[in-house]
Amino acid sequence: MTAIPVPAERHRQEVSTLSDAELVPLARMGDEPAIRAIIQRHNRRLFRTARAIIRNDAEAENVVQAAYIKAFSNLAAFRGDAQFSTWLTRIALNEALARVRRQKNTTGLEEIDMQTRWGGDVLQFPSSLSATDPETELARSQARHLLENAVDELPDDFCAIFVLRDVEGMGTDEAASYLGIRPETAKTRLHRARKLMRQSIENQLSGAFSALFPFDGARCAFMADRVIAALRHKTP
């Protein structure tokens, strides 16, 4: 009996619900919906990871594209020893680090001194919930810009672990696996990154403290008018 072909739209919807382990064999056969599903599922993580290394949005997009092309061209090399997301992220990391080395002649991620350890609370990023009004959206945009500036100032060794742990929400062991470092190293880098983040944010905000609660211009003049009017009213 001849199999009835599955409509393209139905196939696309069904594919989007599959796990990575189920998508990879389809992608190996060149199934476009499966490839699209993988890309859409991992876009944000790969971009954030690449952006943490490359420090440029456009270049990070190029890194992600190159990583996908390399991954889909070499799916036969994926044996399933690690999670597919880990394999994919490592390709993006390696691509980003290679570009940094070419541009800055640096050595990329290396082991750091484990003797000094810094404490620190997790710095929470703004909620991704949609804004309820323009003022709320502006405040979130300004907070996001402040945090992005602080992340960009982090040394490369600390930026990657900070993004994976505090932005992507990975556990320490998982993030360390992605970066190919020991969990102890990941913890130390994260503690130092959080400390540097707090210092950076404090420095950015320090110049704005004097501008808090402004009461000048028309508001100030209006207060003077109100006081004078009240005094005149009290004068016998």
pLDDT tens figures, 63-96: 999 999 999 999 988 988 778 988 998 899 889 8
Question: pLDDT tens digits, residue range 114-135?
Answer: 333 333 333 444 444 444 567 6
Token match 């003049």: residue?
Answer: 221
Rounded to 10°, the helix 183-206/172-179 angle is 100
Token match 């672990």: residue?
Answer: 161
What is the radius of gyration, based on Cα positions, of the chain? 25
Quick one: tokens of 133? 């009004």
Q: What's the pLDDT score for residue 182?
A: 93
CA distance 204 to 149: 9
Instruction: Identify which of 19, 102, 101, 34 has the alpha carbon closest to the alpha carbon of residue 68.
Output: 34
Please count the other Cβ atoms lying within 10 Å of the Cβ belonging to residue 127.
8
Quick one: tokens of 150? 């602080």
pTM of the model: 0.59
CA distance 103 to 31: 36
Is the torsion defined by CA of 145, 146, 152, 158 positive or negative?
A: negative
Asked if pLDDT for residue 215 goes beyond 80, the answer is no
Asked if pLDDT for residue 191 goes beyond 90, the answer is yes
Calculate the CA 38 to chain-centre distance.
Answer: 19
